[in-house]
Structure 1
Amino acid sequence: MSYQVKIPSCAFGGVGSIEKVKEVIKKEKSQKVVVFSDEGIKATGLLGILTARLDEAGVQYHVFTDCKPEPTYGQVEAVVDMVQGQECDLIIGLGGGSVMDAAKLASVLKGASYTIKDLMNDPTLAEKKVKTVMIPTTCGTGSEATCNAIVAVPEEKSKKGIVNDNMIPDYVILDAQMIAKLPKSIVAATGVDALAHVVECYTSKKATPFSDPYAVEGAKLIFRNIREAYNNPDNMEAKNNMLLGAYYGGIAITGSGTTAVHALSYPLGGKFHIAHGVSNAILFAHVMEFNKDACQDRLAALCDAVYPTYAEKSVEEKADYIISQIADIVKVTNIPTDLTQYGVTMNDLDFLVTAGSQQQRLLVNNMKELSLDDIRNIYLKVVK
């Protein structure tokens, strides 16, 4: 068995590391920058922190704040089309996963003969046209480290991942001041999304000796810090640890891959527009409980790494404990535990089962094969 992991060529971390954007501009001899962000980021003042550094660097820049949360491929295409008319030699993504995914897609679409629809059908077409810098403003998507871009597909009422190594960012800046004022609900949703990344990657069929260290270290950082980051927003150490954990989760994805949690969450985002992290959180413990008998040893090993005081417990007890901690984190961060408030009813069950079963890119990673009845039974735990 051969394996690989691919990571951004340069990553900066620590409070104040936003200053490093000037170093990147100098190194790349950049003269014209395009910045992807959104109106929410602009309203918080975070965009101003970045543009002040761009002003200090003396570089020309154009800012696009039209990125939408959980965007359709058409919405991403509209933003990328606006960039086509701009000369640029560097693209910066400042925001959450949707913003960074749009920036990554722009980096392979600018001046290209293929379209985003072409990439949805054949991701191998993507070629990097412009170098990228990713600056996450949430603590969970891991998009700053991955070769993935996720878009909603309205006609299928689901989501699709475009995956190509050319979308791995060139530079990453992990500055905890960029998540200092992150609303608690987003700390929760994106944090649990990052937790799903590391747990799924560690229990994936495709887990390797390259992906495992990132998944384990990410798990330690997130399990041990998410409650503190949620309950005490001023704890910058906890938030910095969440940023690092999310980044490690992103790297783990490039070497391994997420599994049934993400696969079954995609229809919830695509049709019901439930935030990605929330839909993952609602399903997370139930999917791991289903998977337990196929990956009990891996869950127990994760427990040993994260909670060494449980080392004397049995393998089954340790696996159960990790799953119980996942469920508890969802509960204490006040994420819903079922789909009632999102208008999902029993009438939607057939759609969910069919759409979920079609996410084979991720389901093939799952340690345990899911039949249609298995998928239905998992959804039944969260559909009332």
Structure 2
Amino acid sequence: MPPFTFNTVGSIVFGDGAVSRIGELAAARGWSRVLLVTDPGLVRLRLIEPSIQALEAAGIAVTVYSDVQADPPESVVLAAAKAAADFAADAVIGLGGGSSLDVAKLAALLAKGQEKLKEIYGVGNAKGPRLPLMLVPTTAGTGSEVTPISIVTTGASEKMGVVSPILLPDIALLDPELTLGLPPAVTAATGIDAMVHAIEAHASASANNNPVSRALAKEALRLMGAALEQAVSDGSDRAARADMLLGSMLAGQAFANSPVAAVHALAYPVGGHFHIPHGLSNALVLPHVLRFNAETAGELYAEIAPIVFPEIAGLPAKQRGTAFADDLAELSKRCGLQPRLRDVGIPEDAIELLATDAMKQTRLLVNNPRPLALEDARAIYRAAW
């Protein structure tokens, strides 16, 4: 067996109502001044108030940074880090979707004042130290609460990642009740995003693709494959919400160690240029990337396809890989997601721009199980259009 490294968070707290323990968990670690990073929507819905009250009841002073936006730009990251420093925070809590968690990670790092954002993009450039960090997801999709990755929008549209074990939080606090209010479209998009994490982790060409990540990816697909449509159709189904949140976390642990590849590389320009939500961007290109990859990764896809779609288990391996891509496309449609790039307002003449920008995602493309050139990216976008 080839050598590998598997890193994850120090503590995972999971369960209905778990967020009520946020003050207890923070106080037990000696935190006294906390920056809470979140977004305006959660503030408007008053969803952060119970957490603030629990922290204050535990004797912890709290200040809130709530200007996080989807696909956060550098200015938001820097503002959050400044808020932590100005408050003399001794810990950071991120509460929200993937963008809030990503911003919280970098705020905890940059608040120390020892590193500059522009110098830590890429893999392994962020060294720390950072402030203590707790992440509390309110969507079941990104898995950011258990990954060493933070994605930032640089310039007008390009996305870059900071990837370092120092970004793994001290605590991931997962409460399925926080996801009960997610609208069907958000549930669907984030759910497909999480499934993509598991699929790409399982088939990753990374030298660190390992048996732990593959096992987690399979369990994530088992949970989410059975729960996604139910969570979309009945957002109050607590069992489905719990399975989606746990599955998303397991997929996050998988791809945190066996990184994602071309689906994400081609999704990033779609989101960056046209402000399409990340999960939907993944869904739009997913089946087309899988069909492209099937030439070299068909057996890998055939291995996991029946986990999500048991009815195709009897097909020959080569047919299972193709059926997997087709069935995932149909799953997205059944969940109400638009199937084509044109359906979300992307013009055909944007294909060249998207393909050119996708090729800049070398951090991700190196993990793809089949080498992908510019003309391949163009063909995939055309098929998705």
Q: Deviations over 1:21-47 (max 9, x none)?
A: 233223211111110011101122320
Q: CA deviation at 1:309?
A: 5.4
Q: Is the 8 A contact 1:153 1:270 kept in 2?
A: no
Q: CA deviation at 1:310?
A: 4.2
Q: Is the 8 A contact 2:23 2:56 kept in 1?
A: no
**Structure 2 residue aligned with 1:191:** 191
Q: CA deviation at 1:217?
A: 0.6
1:121–1:360 CA distance, 2 compared to 1 (3 A): closer
C-alpha distance in structure 2 between counterparts of 1:121 and 1:169, whole Å: 19
Q: Is the 8 A contact 2:130 2:166 kept in 1?
A: no
**Structure 2 residue aligned with 1:276:** 278
C-alpha distance in structure 2 between counterparts of 1:75 and 1:10, whole Å: 27
SS at 1:173 equivalent: strand
**Structure 2 residue aligned with 1:114:** 115
Q: CA deviation at 1:341?
A: 4.5
C-alpha distance in structure 2 between counterparts of 1:79 and 1:132, whole Å: 14
SS at 1:12 equivalent: strand
CA RMSD of aligned residues (A): 1.6
Q: CA deviation at 1:183?
A: 1.2
Give TM-score, length-normalised by structure 2: 0.95
SS at 1:336 equivalent: coil
The one-letter amino acid of 1:260's match is A
Alignment of 1:1-384 (within 5 A): 1-120=2-121, 123-155=124-156, 157-206=157-206, 207-308=209-310, 310-383=312-385
SS at 2:145 equivalent: coil
Instruction: Please list every run of 5 or more consecutive structure 2 residues that lacks an aligned counterpart in the other structure.
Output: none
C-alpha distance in structure 1 between counterparts of 2:307 and 2:351, whole Å: 37
The one-letter amino acid of 1:365's match is N
1:306–1:339 CA distance, 2 compared to 1 (3 A): closer
Q: Is the 8 A contact 1:20 1:173 kept in 2?
A: no
C-alpha distance in structure 1 between counterparts of 2:79 and 2:56, whole Å: 27
Size of the aligned set, in residue pairs, is 382
Q: CA deviation at 1:267?
A: 1.0
1:308–1:269 CA distance, 2 compared to 1 (3 A): closer
SS at 2:144 equivalent: coil
Deviates more, 1:338-347 or 1:212-221: 338-347
C-alpha distance in structure 2 between counterparts of 1:121 and 1:7, whole Å: 19
C-alpha distance in structure 2 between counterparts of 1:239 and 1:57, whole Å: 29
1:121–1:146 CA distance, 2 compared to 1 (3 A): closer
The one-letter amino acid of 2:158's match is S
Deviates more, 1:132-141 or 1:306-315: 306-315
Q: Is the 8 A contact 1:282 1:336 kept in 2?
A: yes
1:195–1:369 CA distance, 2 compared to 1 (3 A): same
Give TM-score, length-normalised by structure 1: 0.95
Q: CA deviation at 1:311?
A: 3.7
C-alpha distance in structure 2 between counterparts of 1:263 and 1:359, whole Å: 6
Q: CA deviation at 1:343?
A: 3.6
Instruction: Please list every run of 5 or more consecutive structure 1 residues that lacks an aligned counterpart in the other structure.
Output: none
C-alpha distance in structure 2 between counterparts of 1:172 and 1:24, whole Å: 11
Q: Is the 8 A contact 2:128 2:166 kept in 1?
A: yes
C-alpha distance in structure 1 between counterparts of 2:356 and 2:4, whole Å: 32
Q: CA deviation at 1:195?
A: 0.7
Q: Is the 8 A contact 2:115 2:128 kept in 1?
A: no
1:95–1:257 CA distance, 2 compared to 1 (3 A): same
C-alpha distance in structure 2 between counterparts of 1:272 and 1:134, whole Å: 28
Q: Deviations over 1:121-162 (max 9, x none)?
A: 67523303211111100110110010000011225x321111
Q: CA deviation at 1:322?
A: 2.2
The one-letter amino acid of 1:278's match is L
Q: Is the 8 A contact 1:154 1:270 kept in 2?
A: no
The one-letter amino acid of 1:2's match is P
Deviates more, 1:338-347 or 1:242-251: 338-347
Deviates more, 1:276-285 or 1:119-128: 119-128
The one-letter amino acid of 1:204's match is S
C-alpha distance in structure 2 between counterparts of 1:17 and 1:4, whole Å: 30
* Identity over aligned pairs, percent: 31
